[in-house]
A and B are shown apart, each in its own frame.
Chain A
Amino acid sequence: MSNTALAEKTSDPSHRETVESAVVRFAGDSGDGMQLTGGQFTLATAFAGNDLSTFPDFPAEIRAPAGTTFGVSSFQINFGSRVIKTAGDAFDMLIAMNPAALKVELHGLKQGGVIIADTGSFGERDLRKAGYDSNPLEDGSLDGYHLVALDISKLTMEAVKDTGLSKQEALRCKNMWTLGFVYWMYGRDRKPTADWLIAKFGKRPDVAAANVAAMDAGHTVAETMELPDGVHGFHVDAADIAPGTYRTVTGAEALAWGLAAGTHLADIKMVFASYPITPASQLLHSLSKMIDHNVVTFQAEDEIAAACAAIGASFGGSLGVTSSSGPGIALKTEAIGLAISTELPLIIVNSQRAGPSTGMPTKTEQSDLYQAVLGRNADSPLCVLAARAPADCFDVAIEAVRIAIKYMTPVFILTDGYIGNAAEPWNIPDINDYAKIPVNFRTDPEGFHPFLRDDDTLARVWAVPGTPGLEHRIGGIERDYDSGNISYDPDNHQKMTDTRFAKIEGIAKDIPAQGIEDGNTSGKLAVVGWGSTYGPISRAVANLRTQGLDVSHIHIRHLWPFPENLGGLLKEFEQVLVPEMNHGQLVNVLRAEYLVPAEGLNKVSGQPFKITEIEDAIRARLES
């Protein structure tokens, strides 16, 4: 710990530095409980009335060897009194529970940022494991930052020594000690976390008490110790937030609730069939608990079975939903073709991750857009939607249910590892404010055949086994337009193929026109995004617009079919820039569809875009 002159010390918020927003990153070993710590900090921050966005970043290994750089688990939160759109670029404060965490995360810390490090974990062996030749806490290499080096391990042991826990158990309270410390730094209330600890360790009151004691001790130390020069407490005003009842929600949770809300609005059963895969499994877990809400989950033997079971369920009059990540979606491909050809409702959720093949399972990417829009044998159109942020998953899921049922079609929902795990506050909607989703099961045998279509939507009838007089046989073999019977007739195949396309294209008339998120409806540059690039694009565009740059932000939810006005809208701009976490996919679809000179801005590092990366790209186009 650097021995510089000590600052005036006070816990009075009026002596804290008020900041508009702050980015904090908790980093430690996989076993250090950083995700949990971050989750609690998130809740306390939400209770403090700030807007926020989080980004959990953890290794694929469940228990990577302790102390290694690849075992580092991190949790980042951006919070403030203004609207928060991303988990933040560079962070203001880094909590490094061991040398590996420091090594991995230091590059993301702002110059002059605060490092809180546990010296108790910076022994020679720990340093060596992380690849340090000398102790960075002592060798001057951190001079450009504000270092708060504390023996958190020892302080925690002292704080909990009266609780009778074993040394190992006591040390596990380190994260709560640290959390208490950071709580003081940002003036957060400890009570919700104390309540949570008591509830969580209900069966082990000694463990609960120790964790609370550790948190309190960390808080007290921060309050009373003489912090190094330049380090002090902060104050973040409450954000101007719309009235309502709020909760924090991850993308996976919002998606689960949204799907269940959709089938609730349609008043039918959901059969959710899935095979575990990171980062999609969370959805299976969440929905498995909703058995009392007419949701049946089925953990199938593989993704093919999951897709087929979901299609079987839809044939049976439930809504079949299946979910996976890229590799599993690849396996579902043939079955999706079956749902297209038999024209049954089906929802396929893809929680995208870095690929190809196994790729980087816990890292995010948006590289399955082609797969969703185009990735099947033959001419096989379907509908594709993308969620842009955790809470947005709720509405996107309801929209997917609506389209799937109304048009008797598979609908893809694209989300990604970032959205799935990230959390944000959510103004919980009232389900009664949503329109019901009409379901019209055919019951009348008069004039029935299984490929009768609605004149308007071209959707075929939904005739469910169990209905007298509607017995029929269908399958993947081409069906006659006028009877639904097997047909190899050339003209009929042309007509059926055209009809399948017309049906999907018709959805464009039934979705909102493409709007502008920010900026004018014409001008020098449109930045067009989809999915989880929403946060960084919107912040970058907003920042540059305040600086007078002529740039607009367009964000597409309906990726296939596109809103009817999209092509015209894009043509109003001299340049179109498409940032994507892939090697260029939407950009090419837009070029192919509309012959616009769209350019890509592509990033495939497994990490979300930084705001500055997008700002730089915009500037390069407008200031040259």
Chain B
Amino acid sequence: MNVVTPPEKLTPKDFATDQEVRWCPGCGDYAILKGVQKTLADIGARPENTVFVSGIGCAARFPYYVKTYGFHTIHGRAPAFATGLKLANPDLDIWVVSGDGDALSIGGNHLFHLLRRNVDLQFLLFNNEIYGLTKGQYSPTSRQGTRSPSTPWGSLDNPASATVFAIGAGARFIARGIDSNQKHLPGVLARAHAHKGTSFVEIFQNCKVYNDGVFENFTGRDVASDRQIYVEHGKPLIFGKDGEKGLRLNTQTLSLEAVVIGDNGVSEADILVHDETNKMIATLLADMEPPAMPVALGVLYCAPGQSYDEEVTDLIRSHTPAEKPDFNKLLRAGRTWTVD
């Protein structure tokens, strides 16, 4: 048999490879892998047309476990590799998988340029606030005071916010999810896939070995409902166990306030309605941190624009003559002379 016809509808299992998965037991990466495989099945991804590209890190092992095309590049450079791949074949469906160190330390420059160029692909940042693969040094997203082998007395430098960085870089799709929230993650990933341009998704991922529980302050069972807000376009920004809390825009200070509906005369009408096309709202949502504010999850921002690869394709099309140009003519353009 020469032609492999994919079965009508692939299941998540069809996207699993025969390679032994080598993450530590309990690592959040397993859940994300599951979520991605489910998403691929949900969206009807064609394995032959899908490519997973990664840099280096625990997260970056990801491509080995997804039964599509995959390329494990070098530390931090996956965005550049993916951009070249997209230029070679704009029809490919590309996912880049990266860690917080890979994306924001060594690869910060490339991520910035990927986002501003708006290359049509999905960029997944597995943020565990630590360098997993190199055994637990603090990362650019580690909170100040993080104790690690390289910061025995706690880290000194300010952490970066991945999503605020992405907005600043000009990203046109920004979303967030949590590894363990399997109900939510595939939906976010499907939205990322549907968006044309670079879709930036930050996934909070628990590193069981070197940073276990670092997100407990908003993912813990007892606090989750008060410290997480799932945003949805066109819906009021409410959260809390019974949806009793909401976000109100303080027009004096141009900031968001967490309020309780019913308290101090706050009514539902006071709650800000999420508009995912509004960059200001996205910025305010991305900047929220617990405990004072809930962590915003879901699609924070979605404002499609022309992608770089699309523009390149258009440019090529507008310059491609109907007939294949004569190479000899190219060599003879301009000043020539003949010797007999």
Contact = CB atoms under 8 A, between A and B. Distances in A.
A246 B336 contact: yes
B67 interface: yes
Contacts of B72: 473-477
B339 to A, nearest CB: 5
B84 A468 contact: no
A302 interface: yes
Interface stretch (A304-312, A490-498, A500-508): A304-312
B80 A473 contact: no
B325 A47 contact: no
Contacts of A430: 328
A320 B74 contact: no
Contacts of B63: 473, 475
Contact of B80 (A46, A261, A305, A470): A305
Given A300-B80, A445-B4, A474-B71, A315 B337 contact: no
B4 A468 contact: yes
Contacts of A273: 84
B320 A429 contact: no
A474 B327 contact: no
User: Interface majority SS on A: helix, strand, loop or mixed?
Assistant: mixed
Contacts of A192: 335
Contacts of A356: none
A313 interface: yes
Contact residues on B (Cβ < 8 Å of other chain), bracket: 35 or more
Contact of A476 (B74, B82, B332): B74
A296 B316 contact: yes
Contact of A471 (B19, B68, B77, B91): B68
Interface string A550-569: 00000000000000000000
A179 B113 CA distance: 47
A273 B316 CA distance: 16
B312 to A, nearest CB: 6
Nearest to B90: A316
Nearest to A308: B80
Contacts of B71: 312, 315, 342, 473-475
Interface residues of A, number: 73
Contacts of B3: 468-469
B32 to A, nearest CB: 17
A471 B335 contact: no
Interface string B313-332: 00110011100010110111
B335 A428 contact: no
B2 interface: yes
A334 B339 contact: no
A245 B332 contact: yes
A273 B5 CA distance: 36
B47 A471 contact: yes
A304 B79 CA distance: 11
Interface in A484-535: 485-486
Given A302-B109, A475-B63, A316 B84 contact: yes
A465 B87 contact: no
A241 interface: yes
Given A471-B47, A477-B72, A257 B330 contact: yes
A335 B315 contact: no
A197 interface: no
A578 B92 CA distance: 50
Contact of B6 (A315, A429, A468): A468
A242 interface: yes
Given A446-B2, A466-B89, A309 B331 contact: no
Given A245-B336, A445-B2, A312 B81 contact: yes
Interface in B135-157: none
Chain B residues touching A, majority SS: mixed
A313 B71 CA distance: 12
A162 interface: no
Contact of B84 (A257, A298, A486): A298
A431 B327 contact: yes
B18 to A, nearest CB: 9
B85 interface: yes
Interface string B81-107: 111111111011000000000000000
Contacts of A312: 53, 71, 73, 80-88
A476 B70 CA distance: 12
Interface string A389-430: 000000000000000000000000000000000000000111
Interface in A104-131: none
Contacts of A474: 70-72
Given A296-B312, A465-B48, A485-B19, A308 B81 contact: yes
Nearest to A445: B4
Nearest to A337: B74
Contacts of B87: 271, 296, 298, 309, 312-313, 316, 318
B73 A308 contact: yes
**Which of B91, B110, B112, B320 has the most chain A CB within a 10 Å cutoff?**
B110
B84 A246 contact: no
Given A313-B87, A466-B48, 18 more contacts: A244-B339, A246-B339, A247-B332, A260-B327, A271-B84, A291-B319, A311-B84, A312-B84, A316-B87, A320-B84, A335-B74, A431-B328, A465-B49, A466-B91, A468-B4, A469-B48, A473-B69, A486-B64
Interface of A: 43, 46-47, 49, 192, 241-248, 257, 260-261, 264, 269, 271, 273, 290-293, 296, 298, 300-302, 304-306, 308-318, 320, 334-335, 337-338, 342, 428-432, 444-446, 464-477, 485-486
15 contacts: A246-B337, A247-B335, A247-B336, A260-B327, A271-B88, A300-B80, A305-B110, A308-B77, A311-B73, A315-B81, A316-B92, A338-B74, A428-B336, A465-B69, A470-B48
